[in-house]
């Protein structure tokens, strides 16, 4: 008779990736990752970097799931699926099993109530699929922005859900812990994901929201080189106006984001971000107009507004935009008594 379980069971596997999403998870604060799992009633069956179990003990866990002796509520995969060479999966074999990891993921996905791709590699292929993709890397249910991947476009988990793609490179720890908590508490369904399978809790936002450089953006006071304080959209490759994430309102470690660290947004939550066709820190232009415009703004409007904004740019912003520190501070306005 199957073992009686009350907690939500979670198995975490790693495949073709750098492990950066796990490192990000370990930086979760208020609460930390383990406390988040405990509060949500999640029992972490195994994690390759965090669990003590190795060798036969791990294989016993996996086999118990396949034999229906151990219920699997959530299967998380970090890193892309490596199908090469020639769809054998032998670029990534699970030690001690003589089987490719992709076969284990396929079989375990069929047993899971929910399947979760943690990071853009697991979701869409990500960095691992770049550079000609010699390892034939793919996501769980996507190859780039096309449905398919390892499990196929029609895959549905035990709870009749597609793969939940917590995309990001790396993911924000709260994106992961909150999504897993929602699942564990029975408060997650297909209405909670967007058209690319990403949790809407963060994917309904834009990185542009809360950007500390928004005043420069409004007046089109642009940075020209690394370290400048100005908006990085016009010259430095930033696509924060198109990127779906809440990085500038839900900060890393309470204070960090790419833009706050002086690096342009590269839209790492999106399929195919790894190969934009140009250097990340350069903005391609057509007739002098950046191609990285807000997705919902007509180009003609942008050109007209940009011209007006630049004409009205305060000298303070014009000077500070191309400096690595504030040279001119805002004017103090004195209120006169009537």
CATH number of the domain encompassing residue 111: 3.40.50.700
Q: Does residue 1 register a pLDDT over 50?
A: no
Report the pLDDT value the prediction gives residue 337, as an integer from 0 to 100.
Answer: 67
Q: Are residues 90 and 146 in the same domain?
A: yes
* Count of all residues that appear for the chain in the document: 338
Q: Does residue 2 register a pLDDT over 50?
A: no
Residue 68 lies in a domain: yes
Residue 333 lies in a domain: no
**Band of pLDDT at residue 333, cut at 50, 70 and 90:** confident
Report the pLDDT value the prediction gives residue 4, as an integer from 0 to 100.
Answer: 47
Q: Are residues 176 and 273 in the same domain?
A: no
Report the pLDDT value the prediction gives residue 254, as an integer from 0 to 100.
Answer: 85
85 close to 91: Cβ distance less than 8 angstroms: yes
- The residues, any chain, with a CB within 8 Å of residue 234's CB and separated by 6 or more, are 220, 222, 283, 290
Report the pLDDT value the prediction gives residue 301, as an integer from 0 to 100.
Answer: 60
Angle value at C-alpha 120, between 78 and 47, nearest 5 degrees: 10
Residue 337 lies in a domain: no
Query: Of 48-52, 143-147, 183-187, 327-331, which gets the smallest average pLDDT?
Result: 327-331
Q: Cα-flanking dihedrals φ and ψ of residue 138, to 5°? A: -150, 170
Q: Are residues 128 and 256 in the same domain?
A: no
Segment 29-74, tens digit of pLDDT: 889 999 999 999 999 999 999 999 999 999 999 999 999 999 999 9
**Band of pLDDT at residue 261, cut at 50, 70 and 90:** very high
Do you find a cis peptide bond into 91, omega within 30 degrees of 0? no
Q: Does residue 5 register a pLDDT over 60?
A: no
Please indicate whether residue 5 or residue 210 has the higher confidence score (pLDDT).
210
Residue 3 to residues 51, 71, 181, Cα–Cα distance (Å): 21, 8, 23
**Band of pLDDT at residue 3, cut at 50, 70 and 90:** very low
Q: Are residues 246 and 148 in the same domain?
A: no
Percentage of the chain lying above the pLDDT 90 cut: 77
Q: Are residues 14 and 92 in the same domain?
A: yes
**Band of pLDDT at residue 255, cut at 50, 70 and 90:** confident
Segment 274-332, tens digit of pLDDT: 999 999 999 988 777 777 666 666 666 666 767 777 777 888 888 888 888 998 888 88
Q: Are residues 264 and 159 in the same domain?
A: no
Residue 332 lies in a domain: no
Q: Are residues 192 and 211 in the same domain?
A: no
- For residue 264, give the nearest of 238, 301, 244, 295 by alpha carbon: 238
CATH number of the domain encompassing residue 272: 4.10.480.10
Separation between Cα atoms, residue 22 and residue 172, nearest integer Å:
10
Residue 221 lies in a domain: yes
Looking at the DSSP bridge assignments, the partners of residue 252 are 256
Give mean pLDDT, residues 224-231.
94
Q: Are residues 189 and 249 in the same domain?
A: no
Q: Are residues 189 and 320 in the same domain?
A: no
Burial class (CB in 10 A: 0-12, 13-18, 19+), 88: middle
The DSSP H or E segment spanning 142 is strand 142-143
Q: Are residues 132 and 226 in the same domain?
A: no
Q: Are residues 268 and 292 in the same domain?
A: yes
Please indicate whether residue 104 or residue 285 has the higher confidence score (pLDDT).
104
Q: Which of 146, 170, 201 is the last residue of a domain?
A: 201
- For residue 123, give the nearest of 111, 138, 136 by alpha carbon: 138
Report the pLDDT value the prediction gives residue 220, as an integer from 0 to 100.
Answer: 87
Q: What rounded mean pLDDT belongs to the chain?
A: 92
Report the pLDDT value the prediction gives residue 295, as an integer from 0 to 100.
Answer: 65
- The number of domains in the chain is 2
Domain that holds residue 287: 205-324
Q: Which residue has the tokens 């769809």?
A: 87
Report the pLDDT value the prediction gives residue 314, as an integer from 0 to 100.
Answer: 83
Burial class (CB in 10 A: 0-12, 13-18, 19+), 199: buried
Q: Are residues 19 and 78 in the same domain?
A: yes
């Amino acid at each position: 008779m199957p073992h009686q379980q009350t907690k939500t069971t979670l198995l975490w596997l790693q495949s073709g990736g750098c492990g950066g999403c796990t490192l990000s998870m370990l930086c979760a604060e208020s609460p930390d990752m383990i406390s988040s799992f405990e509060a949500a009633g999640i029992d972490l069956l195994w994690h390759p970097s965090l669990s003590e179990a190795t060798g036969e003990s791990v294989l016993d866990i996996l086999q118990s799931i396949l034999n229906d002796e151990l219920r699997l509520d959530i299967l998380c995969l970090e890193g892309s699926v490596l199908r090469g060479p020639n769809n054998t999966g032998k670029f990534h074999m699970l030690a001690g099993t003589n089987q490719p990891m992709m076969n284990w993921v396929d079989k375990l996905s069929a047993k899971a109530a929910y399947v979760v791709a943690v990071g853009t590699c697991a979701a869409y292929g990500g960095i691992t699929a770049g550079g000609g993709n010699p390892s034939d890397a793919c996501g769980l249910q996507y190859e780039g922005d096309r449905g398919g991947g390892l499990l196929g476009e029609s895959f549905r988990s035990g709870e009749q859900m597609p793969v939940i793609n917590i995309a990001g490179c790396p993911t924000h720890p709260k994106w992961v812990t909150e999504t897993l908590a929602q699942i564990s508490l029975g408060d997650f369904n297909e209405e909670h994901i967007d058209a690319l399978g990403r949790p809407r809790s963060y994917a309904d936002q834009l990185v542009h929201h809360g950007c500390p450089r928004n005043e420069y953006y409004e007046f089109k006071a642009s940075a020209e080189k690394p370290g400048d304080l100005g908006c990085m959209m016009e010259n430095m490759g930033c696509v924060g106006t198109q990127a779906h994430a809440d990085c500038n309102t839900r900060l890393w470690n309470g204070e960090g984001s790419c833009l706050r660290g002086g690096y342009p947004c590269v839209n790492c939550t999106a399929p195919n971000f790894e190969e934009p066709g140009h250097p990340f820190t350069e903005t391609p232009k057509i007739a002098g107009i950046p191609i990285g415009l807000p997705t919902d703004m007509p180009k003609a409007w942008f050109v007209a507004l940009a011209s007006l904004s630049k004409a009205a740019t305060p000298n303070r912003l014009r000077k500070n935009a191309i400096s690595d520190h504030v040279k001119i501070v805002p004017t103090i306005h004195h209120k006169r008594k009537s």
